[in-house]
Structure formats: structure tokens, C-alpha cells
């Protein structure tokens, strides 16, 4: 199936989940993520600020803060079509609403990619071969290709977003693990 059709199919599936289901499933996924060795051992964690119909990272963010981890989120630099990791100091840090409902922290210190231990990556879909289908901008693929980034890349999604196979090209970077509300999958690192 073509990527744009698959994206629409997943969006339609997510629309079927109620607000209660979204919260319950998000909480279960965050609990699984926080139970992993990768999360527990990480000193510097990069999560994302969720938007509508996306897995809610609030519980994982709270847990990271309570464990005194350095918490980073992506800041989108639209003119350069890239994301940079910036430090989030609190859940209620001031953000400016951006395109597509994204939130960019207003005043945040950029942190070098080489300092990150774990990058939690959103996606519209993931498959059982470690492939990720994003929203089409390539931001996380470009970020993941940074030679200074040695962090574990962890996909984070609802079980409904896990597919048997999705189309992947040479610029589509795979994840090394995937956490959903139902399971944790680990994959061999692809070179």
C-alpha cells in the first residue's frame, strides 16, 4: 500500500478511539516505556509533546522529571526542515502553537545530540521489522541520521498502529525498539 493511503487508514483508525480509550492506552504505554531498562538507565531522555490523536506522553514526562532525568523535546526549525533537541524544564513550560498542532518550547536551551541516551519517536505506524511511517516530513529520519546521535531510538505508539509491514525506503530510519500499550518489541540494530 502507498504511504499516503496508509497514513489515511491509520488516521481513520485513531479517529475511532474514544477520549477515554486514548487516555487509558496512553497511560499503559507510558508505564511500559518507563519500565524498560533503556528508560530507567537513561540520564537524558528525548520525548515529544503530543498533539491530538497521538499517544499522550504526559505520564512518561512526569516520570522522567520525578527521576531527575534531563528531559528534551524536539523543537521544529521550519526554515531548515529539521528538529533540534531542546531542554524542557517543566510540563507547563511556555510553548507556541505551530503548524499541525505542534508545540515548540519558546525559551529552551539546545542540547547536543551526542548527550542523548534515549529518543522516543512518534509515528503514524510501525511494523514488526522496525520500520516507521511518519507524517511525511522526514524530520525524525534526518535527526536520527545525525552521526553524533548514539541514543536508542524507541518507537512509541498505540497497538492499533502496529502493522505487519509498511513501505520503507533508504532514507527511512528504523527504530531499535517499539513500545505500545500492549507490548515491547526489540529489534536488531540495522546498519
Domains present along the chain, CATH in parentheses: 3-186 (3.40.50.10420)
Torsion angle, alpha carbons of 51, 52, 57, 61, to 10: 50
pLDDT of residue 28: 98
Q: For the segment 80-96, what is each residue's pLDDT rounded down to a tens digit?
A: 888 999 999 887 777 77
**Measured distance CA(78)–CA(82) in Å, rounded:** 7
pLDDT at 190: 58
In the DSSP assignment, the letter for residue 175 is: P
pTM of the model: 0.92
Going residue by residue through the chain, which has 191 residues, state the pLDDT in tens, using 9 for 90 and above. 688 899 999 999 999 999 999 999 999 999 999 999 999 999 999 999 988 889 999 999 999 999 999 999 999 888 888 899 999 988 777 777 776 667 777 778 999 999 999 999 999 999 999 999 988 788 898 999 999 999 999 999 999 999 999 988 888 889 999 999 999 999 987 55
- The set of residues, in sequence order, having a beta carbon less than 8 Å from that of 135 and lying 6+ positions away, is 7, 100, 124
Q: Supply the pLDDT for residue 1.
A: 63
HEC per residue, 72-93: EEEEEEHHHCEEEEEECCCCCC
Amino acid at each position: 500500500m502507498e504511504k499516503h493511503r496508509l497514513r489515511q487508514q491509520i488516521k481513520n483508525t485513531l479517529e475511532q478511539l474514544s477520549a477515554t480509550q486514548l487516555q487509558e492506552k496512553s497511560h499503559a504505554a507510558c508505564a511500559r516505556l518507563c519500565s524498560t531498562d533503556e528508560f530507567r538507565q537513561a540520564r537524558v531522555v528525548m520525548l515529544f509533546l503530543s498533539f491530538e490523536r497521538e499517544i499522550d506522553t504526559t505520564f512518561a514526562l512526569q516520570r522522567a522529571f520525578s527521576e531527575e532525568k534531563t528531559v528534551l523535546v524536539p523543537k521544529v526549525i521550519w526554515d531548515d526542515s529539521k528538529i533540534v533537541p531542546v531542554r524542557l524544564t517543566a510540563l507547563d513550560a511556555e510553548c507556541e502553537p505551530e503548524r499541525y498542532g505542534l508545540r515548540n518550547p519558546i525559551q529552551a536551551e539546545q542540547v547536543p545530540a551526542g548527550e542523548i541516551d534515549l529518543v522516543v519517536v512518534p509515528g503514524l505506524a510501525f511494523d514488526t521489522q522496525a520500520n516507521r511511517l511518519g507524517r511525511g516530513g522526514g524530520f525524525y529520519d534526518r535527526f536520527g541520521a545525525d552521526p553524533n546521535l548514539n541514543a536508542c531510538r524507541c518507537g512509541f505508539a498505540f497497538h492499533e498502529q502496529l502493522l505487519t509491514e509498511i513501505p520503507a525506503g533508504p532514507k527511512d530510519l528504523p527504530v531499535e525498539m517499539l513500545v505500545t500499550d500492549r507490548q515491547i518489541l526489540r529489534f536488531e540494530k540495522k546498519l
